[in-house]
Amino acid sequence: MSSPITAIPDQKKVGMVSLGCPKNLVDSERILTTLRADGYAMSADYAGADVVLVNTCGFLDSAKEESLEAIGEAIAENGRVIVTGCMGEEAEAIRARFPQVLAVTGAHQYETVIDAVREAAPATQGPYVDLIPQAFADDGGIKLTPRHYSYLKISEGCNHSCAFCIIPSLRGKLVSRRVDAVLREAEKLVAAGTKELLVISQDTSAYGVDTRHEARMWHGHEVRAHMTGLARELGQLRTPEGQTPWVRLHYVYPYPHVDRVIPLMAEGLLTPYLDIPFQHASPSVLRAMKRPANEARVLERIREWRAIVPDLTIRSSFVVGFPGETEEDFRYLLDWLEEAQLDRVGGFRFEPVAGAQANALPGHVPDEVKEERYARLMEVTERISAARLAAKVGRTLPVIVDEVGEPDEDGDIGATARSQADAPEIDGQVFLRNVSPALKPGDIIDAAIEDADAHDLYGVPA
């Protein structure tokens, strides 16, 4: 008599809603990679998920409201919800509004999140399946970005105490990853098809400060846990085709040693791009923000950087309407921007955030004044951006392809790409016409630039 056939239970499925910055996205990738190794499958919709994770952002009140709306939608659509991320630090507020959530954990509390999923939806399919090693992608983990670009998180937390920011209370003090671990991850990503590495942290310039820039062996030589040493090693990576991947630095505070990464850009080891959160230019506002206030020296350094790397792109963000900001302070900022000629600028209206020191400062700016200043800031920065992009018309630039369209009625195929001046999601794009049918996402080609507007470029393969 034959033995009865044992039915293998279906895999438990996890859905994920990831909000906020790229650092949160990396956290989501790590969580999902661990869950997949535990035998879970991923669900692309609410209906198919046994449990839904919402990775929240809690930096601004508007971001918190977006997170709460996402939690509410997940509960309405699925009902079994686990909350993690920055807003997870406000567990009482979340549970007060949504008492049915299964668990709430804080930022980068990976093990606690995994334990909560295991408790809510145990994954076992039985010993005959659980003992089989799980299949992984070439890079060893789940990616929530396209194959050709990847975020590379080098540290967590921040040692600054900026008056408007609550990141240290959400994510703690600076904790740097081992430099050999960062390089190993980068090497695997590039080997698996990544053409662009986006280096992220709360403070990239401070990388390794907490470990006293501890050195580790990497491919037979020592590398220090320092931004410049890490950047040089990342510039030595090569794709399987022998190309140098683009390496883009984000969240770079303008410490003196930033000057030492500019020559690496001149050598072609780094993408000529710096994302520097200046936040303001007025010395009095910067002091109130508890930010460095040597704005004149910053302008001089920008001129020096561009003398070494003429194609250097600088992106930044600025806060308008900070408590105590006067009209004179704001005009100072506009004049500074005219002098700095930054390529990409994001503007934010000051928002009081629970727990931020700035809330107690005098001189809060009325909302209508914030709106008026924000509009003026955007007008100036858009004009500067348009002029700098217009100067690229007639040039041939390397671009990385993000998407290739379908042929139109005339058989013409268009593509969406980015130049080295464009980080994904936050900067502009390069729209190409008459591309080859063989072109695919991740290809890096030369493009002849034919036209420009305030944010984007238009061209054709060279």
Handedness of CA 153, 159, 165, 170 (dihedral sign): positive
Query: Of 224, 229, 240, 218, which is closest to residue 269 (Cα–Cα)?
Result: 229
Q: Which of 339, 235, 213 is nearest to 281 (CA)?
A: 339
The residues with which 223 forms a beta bridge, in sequence order, are 216
Q: Report H helices in 89-226.
A: 91-97, 110-120, 127-130, 167-171, 179-191
| Residue 306 burial (C-beta neighbours within 10 Å; 0-12, 13-18, 19+) | middle
What is the secondary structure of 379-430 as a DSSP string?
HHHHHHHHHHHHTTTT-EEEEEEEEE----TTS---EEEEETT--TTTS--E
Beta strand 457-461 with 444-452 is antiparallel
Measured between alpha carbons, how far is 67 from 298 in angstroms, rounded to an integer?
A: 36
d(CA 85, CA 57): 6
Binding residues for [4Fe-4S] cluster: 21, 57, 86, 158, 162, 165
List the binding residues: 21, 57, 86, 158, 162, 165
